[in-house]
Structure 1
Amino acid sequence: MNKKMLGLSVFATLSVGVLAACGGEAETSEGNPSEEEGVSGTIEFGVTPWTSTVPPTEVAGLILEEMGYEVEQTQADAGAVYTGLSRGDLDVYMDGWFPMHDNYLDEFGDSLDETAVSYTDAETGWTVPTYVEEINHLDDIKGNEDLFDGQMFGIEEGATATENTRTLIEEEELDIEQVVSSEGGMLSEAARKIPNEEPIVFFGWRPHTMFNNYDLKVLEGQEEYHEPSDVKVITNGDLAEEKPEAYAFLSNWSMSIDDIEAMIVEIEEEGRDEREVAQDWIDDNQDIVGDWLNQ
């Protein structure tokens, strides 16, 4: 499985050329497993920079390789991933958060396919450690912004969660600044403050190791801006016709929050190889895999 990283500005111009080159190699390589097993072509995954994207992408990728496909990964932010899917440069995204990502469905319409629901009721939103006892509801933030030094720590620019947080701050008239960084940058702040029981508010979600590492609570009263999500497998609109075996497998997909979170812990906290963790999950869940493959 090959991995590439493409920024938003170069994504559209480079993806087609890269994929065409990959396709040429698949056609000319001797002993190509996809040729031998009767399933041809490359499945290109879009991978966002969130830990929740990794386990389902790796598990699905290993199964598709076993089916005979070549598998590639392109790393990009969510906007670039959905753009790539809409143009056919990417085939699959395993980590679509809805309704948070509804704007992409509105923008790209029939060029995207909501193929399967991976899991439901994934918590998202402004999060604080449980030792910040006086803050339990979004309304508790107003008038107490100084408790957090006037800062709320968020993820990357361009993420829907980042835009929703901007709207929240404006409409709720909070005297607080969103510090836009990345998942890693945000968690570095949490790791610096929480051991000393310093107040901090940041964007949290499950599945994630943050809820394994710290005692946290998602604030009540923010459902208008951040609400529990259904996480879906999104494919481009042509996959069902062009690669029906792959589409049939992905349309049966589901995976629990607990299983994804357990794999994230193994990868992020224990330092295990992503593919090895995914293969162990496959080996331990042959009944589920069999259902996905209608076996």
Structure 2
Amino acid sequence: MTTTARTTTLKRGRKAASLGALLMTTALVASACGAENEGGGSDNNGDGDDSSAASEFADCTPGEESSDLADLDTDDDTDITIAAFNGWDESFAASHLVKHVLEDEGYTVTISNFDAAPAYTGVAGGDIDFLMDGWLPITHAEQIENYGDDLEPQGCWYDNAKLTIAVNEDSPAQSIADLAGMGDDYDNTLVGIDPGAGLTKQTQDHAIPEYGLQDYDFQISSAPAMLAALKRATDNGDDIAVTLWRPHWAYDAFPVRDLEDPKGAMGGAENIYNFSRTGFSDDNPYVAQLLKNLVLDDEHLSSLENVMFSEDNYGGENMEEAVSEWLDDNSDFVDDWKAGALG
């Protein structure tokens, strides 16, 4: 065995042992992979201030560090671990995209699901190679403040993560402000999701009072119930207003659009970043560049999530098969990704 091979084998052994310990430590808080990212998670209330550490991530251009992978050899260390966030669809969508491409290149990729805080802890501690769902500058500001010195940013891949109020595509309202005078069109109802979601808090504390929607019945239930109501209404040609968020597969599955938010009551858009353990760029330059090359716009991301998570498709099961099907329908995506041409 060569020195390089022996070093790689030792890294794999330590990484596997550390990851196993981390999974055991977080087993009590990490639930099974879900299919609803409820408005950026319950910690995203849109009220936080940018921390000094997170503020540098307020602006990004997805793909701005892109480079053609044809100029790089694949890495000697082909054992890759990724942390995905419980219940955050885009986290699993992006992670399984990377897994698909890397496994075609001969890598072995393990995706493990965690709540956000343990995932950041694991990456910062070097037990996990990277995570792909860092919402900044607000949602994960605390994690960046705590662990930023032990993380390497590997580019942002999406720049429109936000909370919204949405309506069926052919409904009359164009702005949230219009709803106050159009109650009859929407049965004086705004369909929400879970009571603990950041989206629910933002709607209650900001959108409803700022736009004078107190006469609306704000139905707080669950994300699946909201989606079921959205499906019924769009199938029946009825007008409906719901709380929603981007990214979400509903934008691909249903004829739905966001209402304009002139007061900014739902908060601004955030960026989604990749973060790796310190030293990852040196150990795995090929994978690091692949991460920097990734760009997903709303059309690509909502359609990928639709295939992976909607009940009419894979419903959160067989994610590898779902990604393969989506890539069959988007045949140029991987070539453009590797060429650094998605941006």
> TM-score of the superposition, structure 1-length normalised?
0.67
What's the secondary structure of 2:174's corresponding residue?
coil
Which stretch of the first structure deviates more once superposed, 235-244 or 189-198? 235-244
Asked whether the equivalents of residues 206 and 257 of structure 1 are also in contact (C-alpha less than 8 Å), the reply is yes
Asked whether the equivalents of residues 85 and 91 of structure 2 are also in contact (C-alpha less than 8 Å), the reply is yes
What's the secondary structure of 1:240's corresponding residue?
helix
Asked whether the equivalents of residues 39 and 68 of structure 1 are also in contact (C-alpha less than 8 Å), the reply is no
Q: Does 1:187 align with 2:227?
A: yes
- Partner Cα separation in structure 2 for residue 112 and residue 100 of structure 1: 17
2:206 aligned partner? 168
1:232 pairs with 273, 277, 296, which one? 273
Taking a change above 3 Å as real, the CA distance of residues 109 and 170 of structure 1, as seen in their structure-2 partners, is farther
1:4 aligned partner? none
Q: One-letter code of the match for 2:98? A: A
- Partner Cα separation in structure 2 for residue 160 and residue 85 of structure 1: 25
Asked whether the equivalents of residues 136 and 220 of structure 1 are also in contact (C-alpha less than 8 Å), the reply is no
Give the gaps of 5 or more residues in structure 2.
1-21, 28-74
What's the secondary structure of 2:241's corresponding residue?
coil
Taking a change above 3 Å as real, the CA distance of residues 126 and 76 of structure 1, as seen in their structure-2 partners, is farther
1:118 aligned partner? 157
Cα offsets for 1:153-200 (capped at 9, x unmatched): 13684x554553354257637536462523x34312312344341533
- Partner Cα separation in structure 1 for residue 150 and residue 180 of structure 2: 42
Taking a change above 3 Å as real, the CA distance of residues 144 and 218 of structure 1, as seen in their structure-2 partners, is closer
Q: One-letter code of the match for 2:281? A: A
- Partner Cα separation in structure 1 for residue 263 and residue 24 of structure 2: 35
- Partner Cα separation in structure 2 for residue 143 and residue 83 of structure 1: 48
* CA apart distance, 1:80: 5.0
1:288 aligned partner? 336
2:192 aligned partner? 153
- Partner Cα separation in structure 2 for residue 62 and residue 130 of structure 1: 34
Cα offsets for 1:187-229 (capped at 9, x unmatched): 1231234434153322132453434422433332253533334
Taking a change above 3 Å as real, the CA distance of residues 125 and 180 of structure 1, as seen in their structure-2 partners, is same
Aligned pairs for 1:1-295 (under 5 A) are 13-14=25-26, 38-79=76-117, 81-104=119-142, 105-121=144-160, 124-133=163-172, 135-141=173-179, 151-154=190-193, 157=196, 160-169=198-207, 172=210, 175=214, 177=218, 179=220, 181-182=222-223, 184-196=224-236, 197-206=238-247, 208-267=249-308, 268=310, 269-271=312-314, 273-277=321-325, 280=328, 284-291=332-339
Q: One-letter code of the match for 1:113? A: E
1:26 aligned partner? none
Give the gaps of 5 or more residues in structure 1.
1-9, 16-36
> TM-score of the superposition, structure 2-length normalised?
0.59
Q: State percent identity of aligned pairs.
A: 18
Q: One-letter code of the match for 1:276? A: S
What's the secondary structure of 2:149's corresponding residue?
helix
Cα offsets for 1:102-152 (capped at 9, x unmatched): 53434543334331121334564111224542x433334458779555554
- Partner Cα separation in structure 1 for residue 243 and residue 265 of structure 2: 17
Taking a change above 3 Å as real, the CA distance of residues 260 and 138 of structure 1, as seen in their structure-2 partners, is closer
- Partner Cα separation in structure 2 for residue 170 and residue 108 of structure 1: 36
Asked whether the equivalents of residues 85 and 92 of structure 1 are also in contact (C-alpha less than 8 Å), the reply is yes
Asked whether the equivalents of residues 166 and 178 of structure 1 are also in contact (C-alpha less than 8 Å), the reply is no
